[in-house]
Amino acid sequence: MSDMHALVRRLYPLCRSITGDGVRRTLEIVSESIPLEISEVPTGTQVLDWTIPKEWNIRDAYIKDASGARVVDFAVSNLHVVGYSVPVSATMTLDELRPRLHTLPDQPDLVPYRTSYYAETWGFCLSENTLAGMGPGPYEVRVDSTLADGHLTYGEHVIPGGEEEVLVSCHVCHPSLANDNLAGVAVAVRLAQWLAGRKERRYTYRFVFAPGTIGAITWLARNRDRVDRVRHGVVLACAGDRGALTYKRSRRGDTEIDRVFAHVLRDREHTLLDFSPYGYDERQYCSPGFDLAVGSLTRTPYGGYPEYHTSADDPDFVSPEAMEDTLDVCRQAVEILERNRAYVNLSPYGEPQLGRRGLYGSLGGRSDTKQAQMAMLWVLNLSDGLHTLLDISERSTLPFAAVAEAARALHDAGLVKESAG
């Protein structure tokens, strides 16, 4: 559990945005755990209906009072600067500064997170309490940044398997926000490491670490000829808070990945949401032209907790136990995707005699003998080449693992075969 939390702590100080060196450094650190293929897409490149913007980098920013003290300081927290602020060097009164200052009056101790990606402007974020303590000025105002032609950067990690793919996507564009987005990055890294240890993989697993919205759109634009390989997908975000898990269905709402997560979550506190075209990058993957089977897994959804997009979303806000729980749900979902298939009963006329094949006898003494027997009977009855193991599990209300184990035993005994359909 501690390795995920340690990664969150290490990435937290970096000033990320939709472009720039903060994203590159984030991907460099991730690549120490899993190898990444890095893509750099130049400013001005057309990606679907969007254009790659100028690259933004920042070295320092502050508001100094007459004594030279930094009242607001980028070096203390990168949330203090509005993302994508253009360079500024000026002396201003508080009245002149006020339109450029952003606070949270209802949360006076906290600093908000604000950006202005596509309109060239500048500003500072600070706590309401800090603003209340500021005199009339004058103040020295400085933003040491660059906004120039450059690149948008994203990374991919691919774990080879079958021709069809499972897409796992998380955004890497937020500055010091631990739950949104670093906990999702950490869970994705650990999930990839676990998947690499599987001996066999039915699917290829593709992990995409990209800036929100424009990054996903860029990936889609550059992969239009191969997105039809994506059979299932999930966007990971807000993966480390102490709230219950939430799964948001894909646009279609009844895809296999939607049913898999609903099944995995059914025995724990959770929320299932229908798709809406707002949120994280599931809305890009589920745009009508692509309509991919991609849902979203979070704990408390975006905007649903007081710390969201504030300085309170720090490493202490996320818990190792919550990230481990999110990871466990992802692993269970993978297990079902890997094992879910349809079978055909090779002895469909009447119930075959299981005892003489040693199938009942092999269950003797097990605490779950009755459940295992019922699972075999359900698999035999519904193995018509149309019903998958997930179908059988849902209809029988038996655990998927019990149904899959029954199918394996029946297959080994020559009573069922995998459906070719």
Task: Please indicate, yes or no, whether residues 96 and 203 belong to a single structural domain of this protein.
Answer: no
3-state helix, strand, coil in the chain (%, to 5): 35, 25, 40
Task: Please indicate, yes or no, whether residues 101 and 31 belong to a single structural domain of this protein.
Answer: no
Per DSSP, the residues of 326-351 read: HHHHHHHHHHHHHH--EEEESS-SS-
Q: Which of 17, 54, 34, 296 is nearest to 155 (CA)?
A: 34
Note down pLDDT in tens along the chain; length 421 residues: 479 999 999 999 999 999 999 999 999 999 999 999 999 999 999 999 999 999 999 999 999 999 999 999 999 999 999 999 999 999 999 999 999 999 999 999 999 999 999 989 999 999 999 999 999 989 999 999 999 999 999 999 999 999 999 999 999 999 999 999 899 999 999 999 999 998 889 999 999 999 999 999 999 999 999 999 999 999 999 999 999 999 999 999 999 999 999 999 998 999 999 999 998 999 999 999 999 999 999 999 988 999 999 999 999 999 999 999 999 999 999 999 999 999 999 999 988 888 877 776 554 455 567 888 899 999 999 999 999 999 999 999 999 999 999 999 999 999 999 987 6
Q: What is the pLDDT of residues 405-414, one digit of tens each?
A: 999 999 999 9
Please list the residues that pair with 205 across neighbouring strands: 159, 166
Task: Please indicate, yes or no, whether residues 247 and 164 belong to a single structural domain of this protein.
Answer: yes
CATH label of the domain that carries residue 111:
3.50.30.90
CATH label of the domain that carries residue 378:
1.10.10.10
Per DSSP, the residues of 30-79 read: HTTTS--EEEEEETT-EETTEE---EEEEEEEEEE-TTS-EEEETTT-GG
Task: Please indicate, yes or no, whether residues 157 and 240 belong to a single structural domain of this protein.
Answer: yes
Q: What is the pLDDT of residues 340-382, one digit of tens each?
A: 999 999 999 988 888 877 776 554 455 567 888 899 999 999 9
Task: Please indicate, yes or no, whether residues 183 and 298 belong to a single structural domain of this protein.
Answer: yes
Domain end among 305, 338, 371: 338
Q: What domain range is 91 assigned to?
A: 57-148
Task: Please indicate, yes or no, whether residues 269 and 290 belong to a single structural domain of this protein.
Answer: yes
CATH label of the domain that carries residue 228:
3.40.630.10
Task: Please indicate, yes or no, whether residues 311 and 356 belong to a single structural domain of this protein.
Answer: no
Could you tell me the pTM of the whole model? 0.94
Task: Please indicate, yes or no, whether residues 179 and 266 belong to a single structural domain of this protein.
Answer: yes
Task: Please indicate, yes or no, whether residues 215 and 287 belong to a single structural domain of this protein.
Answer: yes
Task: Please indicate, yes or no, whether residues 175 and 259 belong to a single structural domain of this protein.
Answer: yes
Contact 345, 208 (CB under 8 A): no
Domain end among 289, 311, 338: 338
Task: Please indicate, yes or no, whether residues 260 and 386 belong to a single structural domain of this protein.
Answer: no
Task: Please indicate, yes or no, whether residues 310 and 221 belong to a single structural domain of this protein.
Answer: yes
Domain tally for the chain? 3
Q: What angle do CA 107, 270, 111 make, to 5 degrees?
A: 15
